[in-house]
């Protein structure tokens, strides 16, 4: 299916193009034909008749994200309608009647210059295309959004990163939808032939709560702690925050803890519990020699050789269990908390042998 993505340089257009590309990559990996022929069309393409004709020739679907939401009042009233009319004429010139998925706005219901502009553009496109999808979108946030460009999320993130206090409406409510979710809805409508009005479900959030969430991300992530990301919304908002840190925010130095035994550094911690750290132990050195009552722990050897020894806690003459390990072998060291009897409580000792230093990655899954 040949799909034209208008506004490909914008937030929604970029996310749609990225997801179409991802589906093509997945098909290639499985040895299947690519399902989509992606044709990006930026704003300049609407002013170039040849480029517009080339993009639309043979098109089966158009994801129409191109539009204007920032202009003087006297211009914005007709701007989106004009873009829609140019698209319709381009389709006629190319001899195609594609399925048009239009990224409309919840503001289209309002009697404002922008609302009327979006509403009239939708009417123009629907009058032309027998297969028309009116994708009505709320406030969109996501990676690559521009601050100070009618995007409160991107503006808040920018202010927090640069240590500036944003202006907040204490009574404001914003209805949020990730650009990737909106893009997927548009792609599904085109590929599955869905027509009519589609209203993706947003997350309603107080503006003050949105800022508070972004501030929490800032506070924990600067210490290499990942917040709890079990919610898809939190994951998407956190990724939006992280994307705004590039390129100035990376790479990040890690604190090395060195002594005669070797070197250890923490790579990352999880807000829901757990951490990952790497240690480099010199030959002949013993590390560990302690126990935990409630951790899930795994040792991964990356290079060299070692012995990991587990012995029963409290019982002095119990059997000792030794594991000889080498690179790319994992050992789980655990405690069974169900009974809390001595023979089920293990004490761990790592004894490093051989002539090569041994790096360990230790993952604490729960803490």
pLDDT value of position 324: 65
The strand pairing partners of 347, in sequence order, are 311
Higher model confidence: residue 198 or residue 356? 198
Q: Is the pLDDT of residue 108 over 80?
A: yes
Domains of the chain: 2-244 (3.40.50.720), 257-364 (2.60.120.10)
For residue 12 the two structure tokens come to: 């929604």
Q: Is the pLDDT of residue 242 over 70?
A: yes
Q: How many Å separate Cα 63 from the centre of its chain?
A: 22
What region, left, alpha or beta, does residue 119 occupy, with left being phi > 0 and alpha being psi -120 to 50 degrees?
alpha
- pTM for this entry: 0.85
Q: Contact 5/15 with Cβ under 8 angstroms? A: no
Tokens 């757990």: give the residue. 274
Residue 124 burial (CB count, 10 A): 19
pLDDT band (50, 70, 90) for residue 90:
very high
d(CA 61, CA 54): 14
* Summary mean pLDDT of the chain: 85
Q: Is the pLDDT of residue 354 over 60?
A: no
Q: Which value, to the nearest 10 degrees, does the dihedral of the CA atoms of residues 41, 42, 44, 48 take?
A: 0
d(CA 53, CA 57): 6
Give the least confident one: 145-159, 295-309, 325-339. Answer: 325-339
Q: Is the pLDDT of residue 348 over 60?
A: no
Q: Contact 200/181 with Cβ under 8 angstroms? A: yes
Tokens 């990224």: give the residue. 103
pLDDT tens per residue, range 140-158: 999 999 999 889 999 999 9
pLDDT band (50, 70, 90) for residue 350:
very low
């Amino acid at each position: 299916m040949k799909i034209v993505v208008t506004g490909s340089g914008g937030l929604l257009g970029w996310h749609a193009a990225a997801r179409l590309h991802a589906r093509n990559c997945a098909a290639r990996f499985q040895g299947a034909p690519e399902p989509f022929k992606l044709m990006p069309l930026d704003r300049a393409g609407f002013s170039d008749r040849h480029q517009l004709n080339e993009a639309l020739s043979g098109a089966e679907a158009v994801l129409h994200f191109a539009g204007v939401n920032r202009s003087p009042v006297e211009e914005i009233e007709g701007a989106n309608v004009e873009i829609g009319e140019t698209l319709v004429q381009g389709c006629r010139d190319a001899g195609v009647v594609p399925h048009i998925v239009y990224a409309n706005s919840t503001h289209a219901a309002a009697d404002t210059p922008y609302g009327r502009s979006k509403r009239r553009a939708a009417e123009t496109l629907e009058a032309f295309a027998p297969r028309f999808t009116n994708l009505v979108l709320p406030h969109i946030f996501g990676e690559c959004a521009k601050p100070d460009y009618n995007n409160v999320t991107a503006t808040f993130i920018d202010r927090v990163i640069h240590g500036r206090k944003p202006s907040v409406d204490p009574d404001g409510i914003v209805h949020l939808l990730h650009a990737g979710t909106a893009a997927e809805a548009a792609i599904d409508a085109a590929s599955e032939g869905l027509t009519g009005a589609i209203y993706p479900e947003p997350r309603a959030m107080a503006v003050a709560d949105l800022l508070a969430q972004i501030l929490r991300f800032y506070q924990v992530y600067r210490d290499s702690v990942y917040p709890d990301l079990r919610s898809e919304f939190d994951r998407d908002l956190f990724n939006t925050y992280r994307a705004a840190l590039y390129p100035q925010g990376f790479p990040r130095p890690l604190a090395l803890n060195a002594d005669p035994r070797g070197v250890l550094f923490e790579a990352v911690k999880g807000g829901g519990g757990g951490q990952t750290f790497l240690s480099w132990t010199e030959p002949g050195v013993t590390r560990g020699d302690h126990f935990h009552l409630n951790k899930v722990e795994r040792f991964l050897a990356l290079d060299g050789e070692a012995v990991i020894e587990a012995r029963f806690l409290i019982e002095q003459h119990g059997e000792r269990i030794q594991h000889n390990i080498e690179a790319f072998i994992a050992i789980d060291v655990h405690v069974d908390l169900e009974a809390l009897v001595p023979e089920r409580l293990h004490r761990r000792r790592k004894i490093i042998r051989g002539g090569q230093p041994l790096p360990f990655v230790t993952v604490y899954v729960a803490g």
